[in-house]
Amino acid sequence: MNFFSTIKLVFRTLTARKGRSFLTILGIVIGVAGVIVIIALGAGAQSLILGQITRLGSNLLSIQPGKSNEKGPPAQLFGIVVTTLTNADASALRDTGKVPHAAAVNANVRGGAAVIWGGKSVDTNFWGTDYNYPAVINFTMRQGRFFDQQEDLGDASVAVLGSSVADELFGGADADPIGQIIKVRSAASGESAGLPLRVVGVISPRGSIFFQDQDDQIFLPLQLGQERLLGIHYLQAINLKVDSSDQVRQTVSDVTSVLNSQHRVKREADADFTVRNIADAISILTTITSALSLFLTAMAAIALVVGGIGILNIMLVTVAERTREIGLRKAVGAGQAAILKQFLFEAGLLTLIGGLIGIALGALISYLIYLLMVYLGYDWAFVVSPASVGLAIGVSILTGIIFGLYPALKAARLNPIDALRYE
């Protein structure tokens, strides 16, 4: 038989057993779709992480109060109040003689508050921060400006709004809140009426960074946030932007040295602060994401193996059912190669069809995940790479050949006389 005759025969055989063929294909579809989705998820997660770096600002160091393991989370993440960072620490880090590659230093406190205007109230987060915030974190202004050094040091009653807070309070992006007086009320403050603040700016939409909505927050001068809204005199974090990526490691060392001196730390084990390189943290997250993707791909590969075992089982049953047909074909002159080719084609075609359906299903699921993540405000990329498609098709066909080879050889080696006598 020529190639096309073999293909016609294979199609005729598979369509004659539609239910069995469908169940055989299903295992391959699930495995291949899993491979496509998992590779797409890994690529999307990595694009999200890289996008976070770009939007936060490159060459960024984060100084947190409390000592933590180099690869572990800071104590504040567990709700532990640590008071070891002070305004004096931020001032010391701004000394270019001690930290020569510090382009900008920014001190922060944070809390929850209700923002009130015109009878409307919005529950949000506030940042007590300083005038250096725009020099450290990348963003643009939609309206107005950020507060300046004079307003910061003078504890001016001013505020900058995130875009979603401004839209909710003032009725959309077309409204102009500049100059309006809002009241900010925090549970920790003693001012039940709220702290009156004049709006001087609205930040352009930024979406979410590290699963935190950057638009659902407001900014006010540091000491107002510390003393009037939180009633504290310590810092919750200090951010430092390094002037060059080549100087990040050296700057970590300089910052550690300055803070050791500030806190009179003699041994590293006694340090009561943590200096983190944001890029290193992102690198750790990327490694974790890649490892997780590899693990899940292995799980999808197991699904392909299970599908392959299904093919092996179905093909063995098919050989048993068609023993007399095989004997008849061999009796009229069909050789072992023709029988082997027919059964290998059947197994290969089953897995090829399953692979193509799996690729389409995997791409569809990946696209739906992409739409969901974009809707939620994340920088998620839709990636179905030619490499992943080629890998899925190659693995599915290889699975069919490997698991179809034994039944095909068994059929090809049947003795025609014994096969014709088979009941």
Q: What's residue 279's pLDDT?
A: 65
Structure tokens at 120: 């409307």
- The average pLDDT across 105-115 equals 92
Structure tokens at 189: 């403050």
Instruction: Give yes or no for a contact between 265 and 271, defined as CB atoms under 8 angstroms apart.
Output: yes
More reliable by pLDDT, 24 or 232: 232
Taking only Cα atoms into account, the Rg of the chain, rounded to an integer number of angstroms, comes to 33
Instruction: Give yes or no for a contact between 147 and 158, defined as CB atoms under 8 angstroms apart.
Output: yes
pLDDT at residue 169 greater than cutoff 60: yes
Q: What's residue 266's pLDDT?
A: 83
Q: What's residue 172's pLDDT?
A: 78
Query: In 243-386, which ranges are E strands?
Result: 273-277
pLDDT at residue 21 greater than cutoff 80: no
Mind listing the pLDDT tens digit for each residue in 357-392? 888 998 899 899 989 888 877 778 887 777 777 777
3-state secondary structure of 362: helix
- Number of neighbours of residue 401 by Cβ within 10 angstroms: 17
Round to whole Å and give the CA distance between 326 and 422: 10
The full length of the chain comes to 423
SS3 sequence of 54-118: HHHCCCEEEEEECCCCCCCCCHHHHCCCCCCECHHHHHHHCCCCCCCCEEEEEEEEEEEEEEEEC
More reliable by pLDDT, 171 or 70: 171
Round to whole Å and give the CA distance between 203 and 160: 7
Q: How confident is the model at residue 11 (pLDDT cuts 50, 70, 90)?
A: low
- The average pLDDT across 298-317 equals 70
For residue 107, what are the β-bridge partners?
Answer: 238
3-state secondary structure of 268: helix
Mind listing the pLDDT tens digit for each residue in 71-98? 555 555 555 677 889 999 999 998 878 8
Q: How confident is the model at residue 190 (pLDDT cuts 50, 70, 90)?
A: low
pLDDT at residue 67 greater than cutoff 60: yes
Q: Could you tell me which residues come within 8 angstroms of residue 126 by beta carbon, excluding any fewer than 6 positions away? A: 110, 111, 112, 113, 184, 186, 217, 218, 219, 220, 225, 229
Round to whole Å and give the CA distance between 190 and 40: 51
pLDDT at residue 326 greater than cutoff 70: no
Most confident of 55-59, 67-71, 108-112, 356-360: 108-112
Q: Could you tell me which residues come within 8 angstroms of residue 175 by beta carbon, excluding any fewer than 6 positions away? A: 166, 167
Cα dihedral sign for 84, 103, 216, 219?
positive
Instruction: Give yes or no for a contact between 3 and 359, defined as CB atoms under 8 angstroms apart.
Output: no
Mind listing the pLDDT tens digit for each residue in 146-161? 999 999 988 889 999 9
Structure tokens at 235: 């810092």
Q: Could you tell me which residues come within 8 angstroms of residue 257 by beta carbon, excluding any fewer than 6 positions away? A: 98
Q: How confident is the model at residue 222 (pLDDT cuts 50, 70, 90)?
A: very high
